[in-house]
Structure 1
Amino acid sequence: MFRNYFKIAFRSLKKQSFFTLINTLGLAIGMAGSLLIALYIYEELHYDNMFADADRIYRIDMEIKFGGAEMKSGETSPPMAATLEKDFPEVENTVRFRSLGSNLFRSRDKTTNIKELSTTYVDSTFFSMFGLELIHGDEESALKETNTLVMTRTAAENHFGSVDVVGKSVLVNNEETYIVTGVMEDLPDNSFLKDYSIFMAMAGNVASRENIWGSHNYYTFVKLSPETRLDNFQLQLDGLLEKYVLPWAQKTFPGMTKESFAASGNYIRYHTIALTDIHLYSENQNEMGTKGTIQNVYILSFIGLFLIFLACVNFMNLSTAHSLKRSKEVGIRKTLGSNRLQLIVQFLTESGLVTFTSMILAIIIAFIALPFFNDLAGRSISIPFTEPLFYVTILFITILLGLFSGSYPAFVISRFIPVDTLKGNGLKKGSKWNIRSMLVIFQFGVAVFLIVGTLVVFQQLEFIQNKDLGFDKEQVLVINDTYAAGQQLDILKQDILNLSAVKSATVSSFMPTPSVRSNSTFFKETAMDQQYAIQMQTWDVDDDYLNTLNLQLIAGRDFNNQSAADSTAVIINESALVPLGLSAKDAIGKRITQEVERENPEFFHVIGVISDFHFESLRENVGALGLFMDKSTGSMAIKLKTDDFASVIASIESIWEKRAPGQPFNYRFMDDAFEASYKEERRLGSIFMVFTSLSIFIACLGLFGLAAFNAQNRTKEIGVRKVLGASVGQITIGLTTDFLKLVTVATLIALPIGWYFMNIWLQDFSYRIQIGWEIMVFSALLVITVAIITVSYQSIKAALANPVKSLRTE
């Protein structure tokens, strides 16, 4: 019997080859898109799960408000780890990271440096905490001594051409010598440490041993015992403020109490976040690894489910649209003794064959599209062909989709009454029409929602790109790691300034593009108490900084390197005026200090006030900033006055090779660096665009199927209308209007939903667009136009049919 089911199913599908092709293609595209999304979501949800005891590892995060600034951070104070081990018996192990960013490394026998982009200090407990093993070296002793480091396999091969390098020495930033005491495997792509290649012994970081509770630069992880209750642990964390932080602060502010601290509107709160939650749930701006969001996971999950559901809806609509062609077959089968169950099994067998074929085709499509998707999503996802669970899951989903997509047509077609089908009546007009109409409304509602989302994301990105940031980022070339030039740095700058294509240049480690920074606490000379503290970023710059970046002075003057007094001068931005309680004019000449605990503190006098400029992401409000004239040699920003970038870069590189021989020449354009900080939003927009296109395509297939069904169901009506004088245009408009009603309803439902959810997404930006009417109108017009084009083919085809053929059976 089952063999007969398959044989008939195969013959039926082959006979209706075009219908089978559309069904298979629609399901395959929906499945392929959903498979790619599922692989992406699986990797996102399993971030950092590869570490031993990952379910018991937590990081200590903090929320702080002090000096008018609020901050959420994954970094805490140097003594936090030792304090937790001493006071908390449930803490089994701790480890700290002090991220160092990029540094230059070279083996002692070479003259050319290699730049490692992500390096960090780390405690010697690193390996026992995360259950990591070394390829070479001993995990217990590898990072216990000062000036020792561990490399990843890739870093070791880059520097030495081998992984057996324990005992060899490297020079860091042309200054300090470190001994390689271990080599480890590269960390997985879904790990917060994936980008880190060099792990340096924390023992060499003097600041890590200081008992300073007001400094927050160390990511502190703890491993808790299995029986620990997090709520009890949190209660103990709450006591750290009174037991340790306030006594430390009272050395500077003797009168400070817990009550006075809170009364000033200040707070410090510590809490835990699970290691496996950091990637998706952390609210901190600065993280060691790539930061995702659970919102994006939800969005992509819904898109994946929508694609599958839309594809199944198409199968239902296309199957019922062609059911009239098989109505006589059903009538004859019933007349010859087939019962309804046998007919249901027959049609489910056909849907199963289509679904199984679609799944195979979907895997092929996904495999081909995977490199493009990885590039789009910034991931290194692969299809787990070697995992048995993958095939079990695929088989289960195939069976489930076969039953789901084939159940409605099977039950509808098997319900045909033999007398009616043999007369040619088939499915009566109006039967199940509402269900199919609702499915089409849902399909196009999803399409409209995705169109709105895509337009909003790209319009916000365009707003970011075109917004006046308060500084000139165009045609500004930034040379990285200029400290490598050593004593030749000033000569390097002068040689570059001598180029005719260069307008100006400035040397500073602080550039106005989003990066990891920290605040410092200042006080006015007349109000040196904690309640009047001012949190402000401090940037060391030279006297060409304002001119090169075109920062606008609104009061006072610029730095003058010929003035000895300017060594204790500061230029502040407008946002710094708020906590100072001064106007720009009144701020000139005022003095601020950090050294309230000293009898004779060093004061900085304000010589200028500049307009606010966006040195952080547009997700954040502009904070207080102070510019100080001092040596900071990390980068050089060069303002160009030519569009011949290739030529001027070649000239600058030639000067670099002369003044910094053997040092890597790394550069970037400032506008590119700024836009790179929004790469996750760009990726989300691109993903939206791709899957919006797929959803529209699949929805159009469904509409095509329903149009075919409607045209078949109204063949005689159309014939009568033509005989009575209706024109092709009138009939086409009549048929098309029915579907435009469905699309219009879908649009009216989806537009407010899209507006609501995209407004929620925009809340992450302090500076954002308003969703205008033009987005709504364009989304509606686009989907209606696509629907008209889709339906018109079937409508015109039905209107052009010979009425004699449709009426000859009467």
Structure 2
Amino acid sequence: MFKNQLKIAWRSIKKQPFLNALNTFGLAIGIAGTLLICLYIYDELSYDKMFADAERIHRINVDMKFGGPDRQVSQVSGPMAEAVLNDIPQVESAVRFRPWGTSSLNKTTETNLVLEDRTAFADSTLITVFGLNMIYGNPNKALTEPNTLILTKTAAEKHFPIINAIGQKLILNEGNTYTITGIIEDLPNNSFLADYSVFMSMASHVDNYINWGSHNYNTFIKLKQNTTASDIAEPLAGMMERYLMPYAQQFFPGITKEQFEASGNYVNYSTIPLTDMHLYSHREQDMGVNGDINNIYILGCIALFLILLASINYMNLSTAYSLKRAKEVGIRKTLGSNKNSLVKQFLTESGLITFGAMLIAIVLAIIALPFFNQLGDKSISVPLSNPFFWMVLILSAALLALLSGSYPAFFMSKFKPVKVLKGGGENSTGGSKLRKALVIFQFAVSVFLIVGTLVVSNQLQFMQNKDLGYSKDQVLLVNNMNRLNDQVDSFKEEVMQLAQVSSASLSAYVPTPSYRSDSSYFLEDKLEQESAINMQGWQVDFDYMETLDLTLLSGRTFDSNITTDSTAVIINESALKVTGLDQKAVLGKRIFNGIGEDDISEFTVIGVVKNFHFETMRHEVRPLSLQIGRSTGNLIVKLKSGNFTNTISQIQQLWDTRSPSLPFDYQFMDESFNEVYENERRLGDIFIIFTSLSIFIACLGLFGLAAFNAQKRIKEIGVRKVLGATIGQITYRLSFDFLKLVFIAITIALPVGWFAMNKWLEDFSYRVEIKWWVLVSAAVLAILISLLTVSYQSIKAAIVNPVKSLKTE
């Protein structure tokens, strides 16, 4: 019986090649888009789950407020790991990371340097806590000794055959010599350690700020079996009173926790599971570039919408052409077919089309995958060799066939033989309310996605075009300047002599997000703890403000001719707000750093600079001070308009004469700025692509309903033409019915879209407002798209010869 149904189904499909090609193509597009999004979501959800006992590993975070805005930081103080191990019995082990940025490595017998972008100091427990796969070396001893390091396989192969790498020597940053004690497999792309290639032993790291007052270490703990994070929440919270307050009392004798909190400050320790970090952690000093669970929800909704829209299309297109099969159904029923056998027949046809669409969708997904990977910065592949993948795909296709084919099957099986065989099939077809509801749903989804696309695009444009408070265009950053040692100043001077260079400044501090630490500062007449100003202190040179075009609001900038400017400081507006003084009153005030310590620094405020963004726009601009100091990490070069290629080549020649062994490393500041918002840009691109697919699929559904309506009203159209109706009047009459559905969809979708995108924008401290024109644009675009879709069928029906329309058998 089933074999017979397959034969009949195949014959029926061949009888309507255009209709079924349209059905198959619509389903294939929906399945392919859904498949790509699901693979993306699966990859995002799989982050850090590959580590051994990942469910038992947690990172310690700190939320704090101390003389400045609220901060959420992923780094804690250096002694925290040891204190947790000693005081909390549920903790099995711990490991700390101290990210160190770009480092150079070279053999002791060679001068050519190899740069590794992400390096970090790590405790000797790194291998055992995360269960890393060590190819060579002893995991229990790899990082126990000072001046030892481990490399990933790829990093090691740049220097030695990995089989002979253990025990070899490498010079780190042209300084100390390190011994290779381990080689590990390259870390997975879906890991927070993905970009790290070198780990140096923590025992070799000399840190002058390893105390309870500084938060510089990403600290992970591994809980014992059958222990949860809630079991350690209370003792972890007690670390503040047990250790941090006694440390603070060294500098503020007599201060209590109650006094500290009464001044509006707080320090709260908490944990986050390792497997949640990628999607739920948006903290300062995260070790990797994280995603966002909200984006996963958005993409999940888009995937669901795509498959639903494709399924609705099948229903509408099938029912639109069902009248052509009305007589077939009547004859089958007359010859003895019952309703169940007809339903099975039509579901078999739906199954064939759906499984055919699934195979086409897999091919489309494979073809589109390289572009999609580039778009999402992923390395996803379609797991064709995974049986579970095929099982899920086949079950999903079967459910989709049932969902898509059930309504047309039951719809057509209800045809009454007497009516359809007399040519009255159009009067025996019902379900118009459901079809209209489906079209309303389709366009409501499309309008919602259009609103989302416009809002995301506007936010991206806002971030890229917003006045940052500094000039990022035509600014070149030359990295690793500290490697030039005593030739730094002469290099800067020669660069400034180039014709296309406007100015240049030496400083490791540039206004793009990076690892930095805050310190506590005190005004001369407010030395008590509750008056502390928690802010960053950037060491810059005399040309810094000019090079970045920072705006001075009051006072003066640094002057190399004034010797006292070596102890001068310029603060930003956020720091000024914390002092409680105005722009004029703060000038001349003395500020102290390191109260209660042996080394106290004293500065005099000489100016106030306009706030400029040195972190992402998800965070408010925090207090900052600029100080004259020796910081040679970068050379910031302001270029004049013109051909930059020649100037960069000249700068490289100057570099190569001084450091031929170290590659010339540079980037433009605007490129560095754009990297910060790469996730948002990708989300915007994904939105545009899948919104376009959703609109295209929705248009197929509207096309189907328009065809159905035109076919059903063919005699009405003929009568109207005979009575004098013009083609324009008939077209308007047919189109207006669909526009009503679109208007209903717009009424539903606009408030939902406005609410959802407002929630998304809440993640940004600096954001756009959703203007009225965004909603109007989405509505107008939906109306235009629907008109273009419907007008073809309406005009086609309107120009039919009424003789053919009114002819009866």
8 Å CA contact 1:102–1:116 kept in 2: the answer is: yes
Give CA-to-partner distance per residue, 1:317-369, whole Å, 9 cap, x none: 00101110000000000000111110000000000000000000000000000
- Please give the alpha-carbon distance, in whole angstroms, between the structure 2 residues aligned to 1:722 and 1:776: 39
Alignment of 1:439-454 (within 5 A): 439-454=438-453
Paired position in structure 1 for 2:476: 477
Aligned to 1:212: 211
On the 8 A contact 2:568/2:627 being kept in 1, the answer is yes
Q: Is the 8 A contact 1:488 1:660 kept in 2?
A: no
Deviation, 1:600, is 8.2
Rounded Cα–Cα distance in structure 1 between residues aligned with 2:350 and 2:33: 20
Deviations 1:357-391 (A, max 9, x none): 00000000000000111111111111111211011
Contact 2:68/2:623 (<8 A) preserved: no
Check whether the contact 1:171–1:178 (CA below 8 A) recurs between aligned residues: yes
Partner of 1:527: 526
Give unpaired runs (5+ residues) of structure 1.
none
1:163–1:744 CA distance, 2 compared to 1 (3 A): farther
Give a deviation string over 1:7-58, Cα, whole Å, max 9, x none: 0100100110000100000000000000000001111111111011111111
Q: Which position in structure 2 is the counterpart of 1:309?
A: 308
Q: 1:689 to 1:746 in 2, by over 3 A?
A: same
1:809 deviation in Å?
1.0
- Correspondence 1:217-296 to 2 at 5 A: 217-296=216-295
Matching residue of 1:422? 421
**Number of aligned residue pairs:** 809
Q: For residues 467 and 163 of structure 1, do their structure 2 counterparts lie closer, same or farther at Cα, with a shift above 3 Å needed?
A: farther
Q: Secondary structure, in 3 states, of the residue corresponding to 1:585?
A: coil
Q: What code does the residue aligned with 2:28 have? A: A
Asked whether the equivalents of residues 157 and 163 of structure 1 are also in contact (C-alpha less than 8 Å), the reply is: no
Rounded Cα–Cα distance in structure 2 between residues aligned with 1:601 and 1:507: 25
Instruction: Provide, for residues 566-609 of structure 1, a one-character-per-residue CA deviation record: whole Å limited to 9, x for no partner.
Output: 22221111221112222222222211112221488331111222
1:801 aligns with 2:773: no
Report the Cα offset of residue 164 of structure 1.
3.3
**CA separation in 1, counterparts of 2:69 and 2:177?**
39
CA distance in 2, matches of 1:79, 1:203: 14
Whole-angstrom CA distance in 2 between matches of 1:42 and 1:602: 52
Whichever residue aligns with residue 212 of structure 1, its letter is N
C-alpha distance in structure 2 between counterparts of 1:163 and 1:487, whole Å: 39
- 1:718–1:798 CA contact under 8 A, matched in 2: yes
- Written as runs of structure 1 = structure 2, the 5 A alignment for 1:411-560 is 411-428=410-427, 431-560=430-559
Going from structure 1 to structure 2, the CA distance change for 1:429 and 1:692 (only over 3 Å counts) comes to: farther
Secondary structure in structure 1 of the residue aligned to 2:207: helix
Q: Give 1:634 deviation, angstroms.
A: 0.6
Secondary structure of the corresponding residue to residue 61 of structure 2: strand
Residue 797 of structure 2 aligns with an amino acid whose one-letter code is A
Question: Which segment is superposed worse, 178-187 or 594-603?
Answer: 594-603
Change (3 A) 1:265 1:494: same
One-letter amino acid of the structure 1 residue matched with residue 454 of structure 2:
L
Worse-superposed segment, 536-545 or 603-612: 603-612
Cα distance in 2, alignment partners of residues 506 and 757 from structure 1: 44
Letter in 1 for 2:31: M
Could you tell me whether the CA contact under 8 Å between 1:557 and 1:608 is conserved in 2? yes
CA distance in 2, matches of 1:775, 1:602: 53
**Deviations 1:55-101 (CA, angstroms, capped at 9, x unpaired):** 11111111011112321111111111111111111111111111111
Identify the residue that residue 68 of structure 1 maps to in structure 2: 68
By how many angstroms is 1:161 displaced? Answer: 5.4
Compute the displacement of 1:643 (Å): 1.6
Quote the residue 2:153 is aligned against: 153
Pairs within 5 Å for 1:245-394: 245-394=244-393
**Alignment root-mean-square deviation, CA:** 1.4
Q: Which residue of 1 aligns with 2:615?
A: 616
Worse-matched range after superposition: 723-732 or 598-607: 598-607
Matching residue of 1:637 = 636
Whether the 8 Å contact between 1:107 and 1:160 is mirrored in structure 2 is no
Aligned letter for 2:662?
Answer: Q
Give the structure 2 partner of residue 101 of structure 1: 101
Give, in whole Å, the separation in 1 of the partners of 2:570 and 2:95: 39
AA partner of residue 141 (structure 1): K
CA shift for structure 1 position 211: 6.2
Moved more, 188-197 or 160-169: 160-169
TM-score with structure 1 length normalisation? 0.98
SS of the residue aligned with 2:784? helix
Structure 1 residue runs of 4 or more that deviate by more than 6 Å after TM superposition: none
| 8 Å Cα contact 1:153/1:163 also seen in 2 | no
Equivalences for residues 405-416 of structure 1 within 5 A: 405-416=404-415
CA 1:699 to 1:268, structure 2 compared with 1: closer, same or farther past 3 Å? same
Cα distance, 1:565–1:312 mapped onto 2, change above 3 Å: same
Q: CA separation in 1, counterparts of 2:338 and 2:704?
A: 28
In structure 1, C-alpha distance between the alignment counterparts of 2:554 and 2:336, rounded to whole Å: 97
Distance 1:321 1:77 in 2: 68
SS at match of 1:254: coil
Comparing 197-206 and 32-41, the one that deviates more: 197-206
Cα distance change of structure 1 residues 372 and 600 upon mapping to structure 2, 3 Å threshold: closer
Equivalence for 1:134: 134
CA distance in 2, matches of 1:781, 1:211: 60
State the identity as a percent.
Answer: 54
Over residues 497-527 of structure 1, what are the superposed CA-to-partner deviations in whole Å (9 max), with x where a residue is unaligned?
1111111100100011222322111111211
Contact map agreement 2:420 2:428 (CA 8 A) in 1:
no
In structure 1, the residue matched to 2:82 is 82
> Aligned partners of 1:740 and 1:316: how far apart in 2?
20
Q: Is the 8 A contact 1:119 1:199 kept in 2?
A: yes
Moved more, 509-518 or 428-437: 428-437
Match of 1:121 in 2: 121
- In the alignment, the residues of structure 1 paired with residue 194 and residue 384 of structure 2 have an alpha-carbon distance, to the nearest angstrom, of 24
SS in structure 2 opposite 1:325? Answer: helix
- Cα drift, residue 648 of structure 1: 0.6
Q: Give, as a single letter, the amino acid of the residue that structure 1 aligns with 2:107.
A: S
Equivalences for 1:395-794 in 2 at 5 Å? 395-428=394-427, 431-598=430-597, 601-794=600-793
Amino acid aligned to 1:36: L
Deviates more, 1:415-424 or 1:694-703: 415-424
Q: Secondary structure at the match of 2:164?
A: coil
Distance of 2:197 and 2:49 partners within structure 1: 20
Which residue of structure 2 lines up, in the alignment, with residue 194 of structure 1? 194
Structure 1 residue identity aligned to 2:103 = N
Normalised TM-score (structure 2): 0.98
Question: How many Å apart are 1:111 and its aligned residue?
Answer: 1.7
* Worse-matched range after superposition: 240-249 or 682-691: 240-249
Question: What are the Cα deviations for residues 194-242 of structure 1, in whole angstroms up to 9, with x where unaligned?
Answer: 000001101112339x761111011111111122243231111121111
**Separation of aligned partners in 1, 2:635 and 2:459:** 30
